[in-house]
Amino acid sequence: MPCIYLVGTADTKGAELAYLKALIAAEFPDVRCVDLGTRQATIPVDISNAEIARHHPDGADAILQTQDRGTAVANMGTAFARHCQSNADSIAGIIGIGGGGGTSIVAAGMRELPYGVPKVLVSTLASGDVAPYVDVSDINMFPSITDIAGLNRISRAILHNAAQALIGMVKSPYQATEDTKKAAGLSMFGVTTPSVTAISDQLSDQFDCLVFHATGTGGRAMERLLTDGLLDGLLDITTTEIADLLVGGVLPANANRLDVVAKTRLPYVGSVGALDMVNFWAPASVPERFKDRQFYHHNPNVTLMRTSPEECVELGHWIADKLNACQGAVRFLIPEKGISALDIEGGDFWNPAADGALFSALTSRFHETENRKLIFLPHHINDPAFSAAAANAFLEINQD
């Protein structure tokens, strides 16, 4: 039967792990304490650090015999991730604790577990930038408030609440309903919302539409689901994350963006949504080299910069090269009258020269085949006619 994993470094966090185990065992007896430390545990554990360390590709000695702490932490993270991969079916939920090193190790394993498996991580780092730990997973991070260095009146309350949260999730799991529809992933930004919402509405009778916010992590999550076989195709209308990647914005895609489309050969309808902009935080965060560029202040914490014709050429070539590697059905749509809510005649980012450079670059580099087509449409990206064309293109290439 699936059990609860309680994970942490039992050489330094023994008292906290013992406290959590007693709390959880009172409600869910099958809880296993997993030691991720690199030295002798201070409490009894159910799965030893040596057992976890054996999952490292170079064996346990790569962790337990090294004298360098950074290397040991990184290698233990690798080993725990591989352990979680191979034992995912037996884990009903997982709760971990950690400071800097422990958080890194625990999160590495949690990220390998399927979406929906309850994941709670109490960490000293939870109130800062948690992107390196959570990435595109569904880890719930609890700020520890005090350091995890012994039990006290604050830490007991925080750990108690975290344990009860995990117990509640494990005892009342989500009951999925059987859905015979295929699943489609759609990428959206605020400036392409009318388009993507209309596409989703038109496809909802036949597809379960999963919309992803194109903020870097959104695109990675969408592509991970495609890799995992949880999506049957993409309507990647908003490829703006690529602009942040190439120009230097704060919401970038990874360099492997679109590679999964080539790998899976699943149906793909894409477009140039919001490639007219690069994202920064508050105005002070914009690099000095961009000081003379055109900006739009979306809100006090988000600053948008209009992409230049030269940058648009680079974007067009990059996307075309990626799509040329795709052997599955591809339809890439070009809305000739604007690519975002700001890029419309009279709008703040209306720039026909930049859009023309983008479209020309795509055309010059894109290799059309019977299965891979570049389609120009005389519409703005948020026009109902564009949405209808995108939905119809997706239906066309999804015919069984």
Q: Which domains does the chain have, with CATH numbers?
A: 3-171 (3.40.50.12020), 182-396 (3.40.50.12030)
Q: Which residues of 144-175 are buried (b: 16+ CB within 10 A; e: fewer)?
A: beeebeeeeeebeebbeebbebbbebbeeeee
**C-beta separation of 6 from 20 below 8 A:** yes
Mean pLDDT along residues 95-101: 97
Query: Quick check: 252 pLDDT over 90?
Result: yes
Is 0.95 topped by the overall pTM? no
Query: Quick check: 397 pLDDT over 70?
Result: yes
Q: Tell me: the pLDDT tens digits for 104-145?
A: 999 999 999 999 999 999 999 999 999 999 999 999 999 999
Query: Quick check: 180 pLDDT over 90?
Result: no
Question: What was the pLDDT predicted at 400?
Answer: 62
Q: What is the mean pLDDT of the chain?
A: 97
CA dist., res. 108 & res. 102, Å (int): 10
Structure-block tokens of residue 124: 């000293």
CA dist., res. 138 & res. 119, Å (int): 7
CA dist., res. 247 & res. 71, Å (int): 33
pLDDT band at 48 (very low <50, low <70, confident <90, very high): very high
